[in-house]
Amino acid sequence: MKVFLFDLMHYKGDLDRFAVDGVLPHRLGRRHFDAQAAIETYAQHLDAWEEMERVGFDGIGVNEHHATPFGLMNSPNLLAAAAAMRTKRMKILIYGNLLPLHEPLRLAEELAMLDCLTGGRLIAGVARGAQREYRAHNVAMGESRARFDECVDIMRRAWTEEVFSYQGQFHSYEDVSIWPRPVQDPHPPLWVPVTGSKDSIEWAARNDIAITPGVSAAGTAREDIIRYYAQCQAEEGRKVTPGHLNFMVDCYVADSKAQAIKEYGPHYMYCFNTLIKYDHPTQDFNQKGYYSQTAHEHMRSGAKGTLADISMFNSRMTEEGLKAQAEHMAWGTPDEVVERIITEADQAGAETVLLMCNRGAMPQEMFLNQIRRLGAEVLPRLQAHKVTRVPFAEGVGAGV
Give the residues lining the site for a copy of itself (CB under 8 A). Answer: 11, 27-31, 33, 35, 38-39, 41-43, 46, 66-69, 72-75, 77-79, 81-82, 84-86, 101-103, 105-106, 109-110, 112-114, 116-117, 119-120, 135-138, 160-163, 171-183
- Euclidean distance between CA atoms 111 and 159, whole angstroms: 9
3-class secondary structure per residue, 286-352: HHHCCCCCCCCCCCCCCCCCCCCCCHHHHCCCCHHHHHHHHCCCEEECHHHHHHHHHHHHHHHCCCE
The whole-angstrom separation of Cα 219 and Cα 300 is 9
> Least CB distance from residue 383 to a copy of itself, whole Å?
27
- Closest distance of CB 248 from a copy of itself, Å: 23
> Considering beta carbons, is residue 238 or 277 the nearer one to a copy of itself?
277
CB of 52 to a copy of itself, least distance (A): 15
Nearer to a copy of itself, 21 or 179 (CB): 179
State how far the alpha carbon of 85 is from the alpha carbons of 12, 73, 78, 82, 89, in Å: 23, 17, 11, 5, 11
Q: Are 95 and 127 in contact (CB under 8 A)?
A: yes
Of the pair 88, 239, the CB lying nearest a copy of itself is at: 88
Collapsing DSSP states into helix, strand and coil, what is residue 356?
A: strand
Residue 122 neighbours by CB under 8 Å, 6+ apart: 80, 91, 92, 94, 111, 114, 115, 182, 184, 188
Is 51 exposed, middle or buried, given 0-12, 13-18 or 19+ CB atoms closer than 10 A?
middle
To a copy of itself, the closest distance from the beta carbon of 134 in angstroms equals 12
Cα separation of the two ends of the chain: 31
DSSP letter at 188?
A: P
User: Which of 129, 305 has the CB closer to a copy of itself?
Assistant: 129
C-alpha distances in Å from residue 167, one per residue of 153, 160, 373: 11, 17, 52
As measured in angstroms, the least distance from the Cβ of 273 to a copy of itself is: 18
In the bound state with a copy of itself, the residue whose beta carbon lies nearer, of 73 and 390, is: 73
Task: Kindly state the smallest distance separating residue 186's Cβ from a copy of itself, in Å.
Answer: 9
> Which C-beta is closer to a copy of itself: that of 23 or that of 136?
136
By C-beta, is 27 or 386 nearer to a copy of itself? 27
Residues paired with residue 252 on neighbouring β-strands, in sequence order: 331
The nearer residue to a copy of itself, 160 or 388, going by C-beta atoms, is: 160
* The one-letter amino acid at 222: R
CB of 119 to a copy of itself, least distance (A): 5
Residue 32 CB, nearest distance to a copy of itself (Å)?
Answer: 9
